[in-house]
Amino acid sequence: MCYVNRFCQYIANRCPRRFVQIVHPLSAFAVLSCIAFFFCLQMFYIAPKVFNDLGYKLYWIFFTFITHNILGNMLACYMTSSSVNTLSKDSQSPAPEEEHLWHKCEVCKKLSPPRSWHCVLCNTCTLRRDHHCIFIGNCIGHNNQRYFFWFTFYSTLGLLISFATLCMYVLQNGGHFKKLSFMIVDLISQIFSQPHSGNNFETLVLLLNISASYMPGFMLAYQMQILRQNSSYYKIFDCTYDLGFRKNCQSIMGQRGLWTFVSPLLKSPLPHDGARWQTKKSQ
């Protein structure tokens, strides 16, 4: 992910408008297509052959819950701005005793709060900027990091469950662990050749599942570290703002903390507007 972001940032610095016009829609389309593909595959082909009637109904409820959270958090993350411009007029300028904590943005030509940085793609300074996500089409920052965290969490969870259900399908239809292990080895060593065992469809779906799991799983690992220390992507191990896990959760998730896993529709006000930050030392 680090190299992807650096490459995207390199391209964006040279042609930001064209980059936004081309890459964001394509990335969003790829994500939505992946969600639709795995949902239809699981619910209409794999799950009916793996579970009985009651199990299938429960699987429908559970997978619908996951899909709701993936799509809902993705949309909320896109619709929620973390721009410095979202601050009230009183908060857009520092108090005299805090002026030394703010820094001047050479692009915006004005003072920006601590932990905020300019995004060349959004063309604005972002509060507690984490990174710019090409798949969401928006900057991830103070106001929408909650949604991004749960988007990566449920995307990873959904793909892991999809992979597990596919393995169950293979095992229930004449397969065995040895056959399954051969199929997974084939994905790594002979992607474009004839598999040793199993049919091409099963192998192709396993390949797509594993490949699709990489990006959200990698992003989720970063987000868990950020949540643990209240840091950000470019300063992943910075402990300056680490106030303990409970307060870190509230700083990112809002007053309801980890209960926001229920739904992106659950209201959870953030403890402050993102202009003033308590540090570990001051605590």
Consecutive H or E run containing 228: helix 200-229
Nearest to 87 by CA among 120, 111, 121: 111
Confidence band for 1, pLDDT divided at 50, 70 and 90:
very low
Nearest to 116 by CA among 98, 134, 142: 142
Whether the pLDDT of residue 6 is over 70: the answer is no
> Could you read off the pLDDT of 115-168 as tens digits, one per residue?
999 988 888 999 999 999 988 989 999 999 999 999 999 999 999 999 899 888
Quick check: helix, strand or coil at residue 105? strand
> Could you read off the pLDDT of 181-202 as tens digits, one per residue?
555 555 555 444 544 444 567 7
Give the model's pLDDT for residue 5: 54
Long-range pairs, 57-66, Cβ under 8 A, ≥24 = 59/165, 63/39, 63/158, 63/161, 66/154, 66/157, 66/158, 66/161
**What average pLDDT is seen over the chain?**
85
Q: Quick one: average pLDDT of 15-22?
A: 68
Q: How far apart are CA 200 and CA 168, in angstroms?
A: 17
Give the model's pLDDT for residue 4: 53
Nearest to 35 by CA among 84, 6, 2, 75: 75
Rg, C-alpha atoms of the chain: 22
Give the model's pLDDT for residue 67: 96
Residue 183 contacts residue 195 (beta carbons within 8 Å):
yes
Give the model's pLDDT for residue 197: 46
The sign of the torsion formed by the CA atoms of 259, 261, 263, 264 equals: positive
